[in-house]
Structure 1
Amino acid sequence: MVRIARERVSSFIKKYFFEGQRLASDESQTALDETFLEVFVRKHRKVIGFAIPFCFFNFVWWSLAIRYDLFKLFPERYQMSITMIFGALIAGMTSEGGGAIAFPVMTLVLHIEPAISRDFSLMIQSCGMTAASFVIIWMGIVIEWHSVVFCSLGAVGGVIFGLEVIDPRLTAAQKKMGFVSIWFSFAMALFLLNIRRNRRTFDKIPDFKLWKMIVLIVTGFLGGNFTAFSGSGVDICSFSILTLLFHVSEKVAVPTSVILMAINTLVGFYWRQFIMAEVSEEAWEYLAVCVPIVVFVAPFATCAASYFHRLVLASFIYVLETVALIGGFVIVKPDWALTAISASIVVAGFFFFLVLSRLEVAVEHGSMDLDAVRVMEKEVETVQVT
């Protein structure tokens, strides 16, 4: 009995936590005439992928830290250093950027102004998510490039519009509760979708067409607006559309959302610092005590998550969004009006996401026949590297 139990536990761990990376090319088919350098890079791609962004960001940080004595900030700002260990883990492993941890912790627990929390989220993700994105591209992990390109186009306009128009019109409590409510409803819909047996998933959007491009641009614009007041949004919006509407696997949607968020935060950071010129000194101080942490943890988490089963990645979303919603109500203690609005957002958002999940876009009722779907499923364009 003990042996059987051990075998089951071992099988469970291998299936869900060591499924293998999904790569864009088969590295086992190597050329016989590879040079020594090419062989070295191929064999040590993981280490090199980590080392390049890690060394770059640390060179910049240590030179500035020594020049301006940034070490004196740690005794007062160390809470954010600890917070971003977990924030960077979440950013690398899920569709939620580090801002999904930083924003609620800073606003709900540390009682920091939402504007400062948002700016810090943009700034720190522009470092951590960029480092993680480099690792994703360097290692050749499969991503959905249609989403990266067209969601980014919409997100650029969305984050600028949100910073200039939407953000000033929302109260701090509305930002906090709106953020946790809409994404809790998404988590519920994703859960219901994944309890369906034999769910068909793809590595890319099937039969890409003009209307799908428009959907991605609109999704990016809406996500950019969320990013404008909370520091995170386009990543979750893209993830929800890819998984629920287009039936893309979570193993592909997660690294795609990481690259999207890196691009969006760079735009938001640029706009806040150089156009609006409103990034506070406090936000810069929080950034200073977190950069060395996130540029290591986020890429590490991205690499680790690439080996996980898609259901493990989805489970992280369920837990995070539930904790965030409960924490929002406990800490913010919204009045009855805001509570009613939040509840309405949860219900309406849940049904919206549920409708998306029920649309069998992969088949499209005749526009793409079942034979084509089967062919797509059997395409040998990815490999499992354990």
Structure 2
Amino acid sequence: MGSLPLKSLPRLWPFYAWLVAFYGTWLAIVTFAGCWPTVVSHWPIALTMSVGSYVAGSTPMGGGTVAFPVLVLLFDMPGSLGRNFGLAIQSIGMVSASIYILSSGKSVDWDLLRPALIGALFGMPLGAAWVAPGISDLAVKLTFAVIWASFGIMHLVKLRELVASTGISQRWRAFDLPIGLLIGVVGGVASSITGVGIDMLIYATLVLLYRADLKLAIPTSVILMAFTSVVGIASNACLATWFPSAYAIDGEVFSNWLAAAPVVAIGAPFGALVVNLISRTPTLVIVSLLCIGQFAWTLIHEQVSGMALVGAIAGVLLFNVLFHGLYYLGRGEAPFAISSPTELATDEGEG
């Protein structure tokens, strides 16, 4: 934070106040509840989230994007634990990044974000109560793998254009309300299953349909995921309290949270700061390759075969068809119109 100009420090007081309040509360919990042994024994997840929190603050991918595969694939924990931990840790890391974003005056697309927040307020609790409990553990893992593999492929294919975009197109502004509500409801349900997803939806919409600058799209996606994470973990906690037999939350969620929370509280805003000082391209390329790699890792680790394998591959293809459609709608073209040889050559040159 030392690289910030002095004139920016006064307006960052809400961020510093948040850090003081959080670290004071966390320190009181681990000290008076005697949780220091728990924190020390769960150091691997704290180390993991030092990377995950940077990803959360510097890309449109929540910290759960790193936490989920590590917990469920490397540590062989159930998908529900990965989901709840992702929501819980993002409620600290991405909230911290959001407070930093708002305090520092970074640009946010409020016209699309407001209706998306309203949609998430309904979509996430509905998904937590009615959808997520009926999804098998393997289906949770495959849903996560498919969503982020698709996202990684989209980035690698269109990265040059995404990084080069400036400003934002006004073509679809008249439809901000229905588009935002749809993102919120659908993304809220998706996030109730895997702990992430709504951030990807609003980001993809902004950069593909609205042709938004990444400096606008990433902060917007961070704030939406932060809000959805808070709503999600609160919904799951309430359901676990009211109906413990059906919605119980594994105790390891809290143990992992205690160890990782102090790391992500500063790691996510650090990512939001650093991303403005260096090129986004290397970070996005590395994270995109990891998203694709975790898809292959999931298929191998879970020994996916038969119709489940076909469904997973079909899911990746379907998501990329949707991304393709958004991209061409953003250009004002029919999604699957046959291009002329000149247009095809132009597309290839754009990457």
TM-score normalized by structure 1? Answer: 0.78
Between 338-347 and 299-308, the greater mean CA deviation after superposition = 299-308
User: 1: distance between equivalents of 2:52 and 2:252?
Assistant: 19
**Deviation of residue 117 (structure 1)?**
1.6
User: 1: distance between equivalents of 2:260 and 2:284?
Assistant: 27
Q: Which residue of 2 aligns with 1:226?
A: 190
Q: Which residue of 2 aligns with 1:340?
A: 310
Paired AA for residue 126 in structure 1 = S
Instruction: Describe the shift of the 1:199–1:74 C-alpha distance in structure 2 as closer, same or farther (beyond 3 A).
Output: closer
Q: Which residue of 2 aligns with 1:259?
A: 223
Name the SS of the counterpart of 1:84 in structure 2: helix
Q: Which residue of 1 aligns with 2:118?
A: 153
Q: Residue 94 of structure 2 contacts residue 223 of structure 2 at CA under 8 Å; is this kept in 1?
A: yes
User: 2: distance between equivalents of 1:43 and 1:271?
Assistant: 36
Instruction: Describe the shift of the 1:82–1:125 C-alpha distance in structure 2 as closer, same or farther (beyond 3 A).
Output: same
Q: Which residue of 1 aligns with 2:264?
A: 294
Instruction: Describe the shift of the 1:211–1:290 C-alpha distance in structure 2 as closer, same or farther (beyond 3 A).
Output: same
**Deviation of residue 316 (structure 1)?**
4.3
Q: Which residue of 2 aligns with 1:68?
A: 33
Instruction: Describe the shift of the 1:364–1:331 C-alpha distance in structure 2 as closer, same or farther (beyond 3 A).
Output: closer
Q: Which residue of 1 aligns with 2:341?
A: none
**RMSD of the TM alignment (CA)?**
2.5
Q: Residue 163 of structure 2 contacts residue 214 of structure 2 at CA under 8 Å; is this kept in 1?
A: no
Deviation string 1:350-375 (CA, Å, 9 cap, x unpaired) is 121112111235x689xxxxxxxxxx
1:134 to 94, 99, 104: 99
User: 1: distance between equivalents of 2:210 and 2:256?
Assistant: 38
User: 1: distance between equivalents of 2:94 and 2:178?
Assistant: 26
Task: Give ranges in structure 1 of 5+ residues lacking alignment.
Answer: 1-19, 22-26, 28-39, 366-386
Between 90-99 and 302-311, the greater mean CA deviation after superposition = 302-311
What aligned pairs does 1:178-217 form with structure 2 within 5 A after superposition? 178-195=143-160, 201-204=165-168, 206=170, 209-217=173-181
Name the SS of the counterpart of 1:290 in structure 2: helix
Task: Give ranges in structure 2 of 5+ residues lacking alignment.
Answer: 242-247, 335-351
- Give the length in aligned residue pairs: 326
User: 2: distance between equivalents of 1:349 and 1:364?
Assistant: 19
Instruction: Describe the shift of the 1:209–1:107 C-alpha distance in structure 2 as closer, same or farther (beyond 3 A).
Output: same
Instruction: Describe the shift of the 1:348–1:207 C-alpha distance in structure 2 as closer, same or farther (beyond 3 A).
Output: closer
User: 1: distance between equivalents of 2:23 and 2:92?
Assistant: 11
User: 2: distance between equivalents of 1:220 and 1:316?
Assistant: 28
Q: Which residue of 1 aligns with 2:273?
A: 303
Q: Which residue of 2 aligns with 1:368?
A: none
Q: Residue 141 of structure 2 contacts residue 298 of structure 2 at CA under 8 Å; is this kept in 1?
A: yes
Q: Which residue of 1 aligns with 2:299?
A: 329
Tell me which structure has the larger Cα radius of gyration: 1
Q: Residue 251 of structure 1 contacts residue 309 of structure 1 at CA under 8 Å; is this kept in 2?
A: no
Deviation string 1:175-216 (CA, Å, 9 cap, x unpaired) is 1112121332233233333345x9873434525644232112
User: 1: distance between equivalents of 2:110 and 2:279?
Assistant: 21
User: 1: distance between equivalents of 2:117 and 2:12?
Assistant: 29
The structure richer in helix per residue is 2
Paired AA for residue 192 in structure 1 = V
**Deviation of residue 152 (structure 1)?**
1.1
Deviation string 1:224-281 (CA, Å, 9 cap, x unpaired) is 1121011111111111111111111122111111111111111111111124423332
Instruction: Describe the shift of the 1:76–1:194 C-alpha distance in structure 2 as closer, same or farther (beyond 3 A).
Output: closer
Name the SS of the counterpart of 2:235 in structure 1: helix
User: 2: distance between equivalents of 1:200 and 1:84?
Assistant: 30
Instruction: Describe the shift of the 1:146–1:313 C-alpha distance in structure 2 as closer, same or farther (beyond 3 A).
Output: farther
TM-score normalized by structure 2? Answer: 0.85
Q: Residue 159 of structure 1 contacts residue 228 of structure 1 at CA under 8 Å; is this kept in 2?
A: yes
Q: Which residue of 1 aligns with 2:338?
A: none
What aligned pairs does 1:231-246 form with structure 2 within 5 A after superposition? 231-246=195-210
2:139 pairs with 1:171: no
